[in-house]
């Protein structure tokens, strides 16, 4: 086997058979959770949403999970960690990140204990507005994915991703993009910098302008037209063992994604 082959990292379930066992971390309305529950309901032998957890107690996604009969966990992240916007200077930010890491380490310990009783999770899907570091990320490395409402293949001259962080839909519209799309990527501890597995179909901006109201309307359309197919394709490919991280890296430093053994350009599988 060549050195390059040694560096290929398969992405897929750790268990040999049975439905893909999915855990979901949620923050908001539950749109991505709804996609996963639809897959479970249509194909229970292939997909199972086993656990839903949140950093708070008021996310509508928790009600979506309860209505679907999925075990749900609430949290008290803000009470324990405070708010990153209130962190003062480098030292304040460091202390905030230390508290956040400790909170997520405790969540990981709870998940690990739950797995010992109920069976291992194969995949963690994030629809989650908190930065994850520590044991939770380490234990699910290569098995944790996130959706981002922007084209993460758009780079600047230095090879840095331009549409990261908050409000990327409005940022894209302000930059003159005529369409927006969703990216699904492997979480690796960077800010929206992990290997991009798939991008959903582009959604035309049409006559919308880069105002908060129009950008939100665009993002809502994108949730249906781009988020949903992007997440569904990625989870299906993950369950089927079709995905791997290749030996090469792209200009932004992310690992090249392989689909069915073939390397893809930055952005992974592009739908639409």
* Structural domains for the chain: 1-141 (3.40.50.170), 146-272 (3.40.50.170)
- Structure confidence at residue 1 (pLDDT): 36
- The model's pLDDT over 176-195, given as tens digits with 9 standing for 90+, comes to 999 999 999 999 989 999 99
Q: What is the pTM of this model?
A: 0.94
- The model's pLDDT over 184-234, given as tens digits with 9 standing for 90+, comes to 999 998 999 999 999 999 999 999 999 999 999 999 999 999 999 999 999
| Tokens describing residue 87 | 């962190």
- Structure confidence at residue 3 (pLDDT): 38
Average pLDDT of the residues of the chain:
95
* Residue 26 buriedness (CB in 10 A; 0-12 / 13-18 / 19+): buried
* Distance of alpha carbon 92 from alpha carbon 95, whole angstroms: 5
- The model's pLDDT over 148-176, given as tens digits with 9 standing for 90+, comes to 999 999 999 999 999 999 999 999 999 99
- Structure confidence at residue 16 (pLDDT): 60
Cβ atoms < 10 Å from Cβ of 76:
11
- Structure confidence at residue 163 (pLDDT): 98
- The model's pLDDT over 53-78, given as tens digits with 9 standing for 90+, comes to 999 999 999 999 999 999 999 999 99
Under the banding of pLDDT at 50, 70 and 90, the label for residue 13 is confident
Residue 153 backbone class (left: φ over 0; alpha: ψ -120 to 50; beta: rest): alpha
* Distance of alpha carbon 21 from alpha carbon 124, whole angstroms: 9
- The model's pLDDT over 105-123, given as tens digits with 9 standing for 90+, comes to 999 999 999 999 999 999 9
* Distance of alpha carbon 27 from alpha carbon 29, whole angstroms: 7
- Structure confidence at residue 15 (pLDDT): 64
pLDDT > 90: what percent of the chain? Answer: 93
87 pLDDT higher than 50:
yes
* Distance of alpha carbon 149 from alpha carbon 217, whole angstroms: 13
The DSSP symbol for 63 reads H
* Residue 139 buriedness (CB in 10 A; 0-12 / 13-18 / 19+): middle
* Distance of alpha carbon 22 from alpha carbon 235, whole angstroms: 9
* Distance of alpha carbon 53 from alpha carbon 114, whole angstroms: 12
DSSP-based three-state secondary structure for 59: coil
Place of tokens 């009969």: 69
- Structure confidence at residue 79 (pLDDT): 94
Alpha helices (H) in 141-227, listed in sequence order? 168-174, 212-222
91 pLDDT higher than 90:
yes
Find residue 262's DSSP bridge partners. Answer: 259
């Amino acid at each position: 086997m060549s050195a390059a082959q040694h560096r290929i990292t398969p992405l897929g379930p750790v268990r040999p058979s049975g439905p893909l066992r999915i855990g979901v971390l949620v923050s908001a309305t539950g749109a991505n959770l709804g996609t996963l529950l639809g897959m479970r309901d249509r194909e229970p032998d292939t997909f199972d949403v086993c656990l839903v957890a949140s950093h708070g107690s008021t996310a509508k996604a928790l009600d979506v999970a309860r209505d679907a009969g999925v075990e749900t966990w609430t949290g008290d992240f803000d009470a324990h960690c405070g708010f990153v916007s209130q962190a003062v200077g480098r030292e304040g930010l460091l202390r905030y990140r230390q508290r956040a890491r400790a909170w997520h380490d405790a969540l990981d310990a709870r998940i690990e204990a739950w797995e010992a009783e109920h069976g291992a999770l194969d995949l963690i899907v994030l629809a989650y507005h908190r930065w994850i570091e520590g044991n939770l990320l380490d234990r699910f490395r290569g098995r944790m994915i996130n959706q981002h409402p922007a084209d993460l293949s758009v780079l600047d001259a230095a090879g840095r991703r331009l549409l990261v962080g908050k409000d990327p839909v409005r940022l894209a519209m302000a930059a003159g993009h005529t369409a927006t799309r969703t990216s699904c990527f492997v979480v690796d501890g960077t800010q929206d910098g992990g290997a991009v597995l798939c991008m959903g179909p582009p959604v035309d901006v049409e006559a919308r302008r880069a105002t908060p109201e129009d950008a939100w309307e665009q993002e809502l359309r994108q949730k249906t037209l781009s988020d949903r197919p992007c997440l569904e394709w990625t989870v299906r490919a993950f369950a089927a063992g079709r995905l791997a991280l290749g030996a090469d890296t792209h200009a932004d430093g992310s690992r090249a994604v392989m689909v069915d053994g073939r390397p893809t350009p930055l952005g992974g599988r592009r739908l639409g």
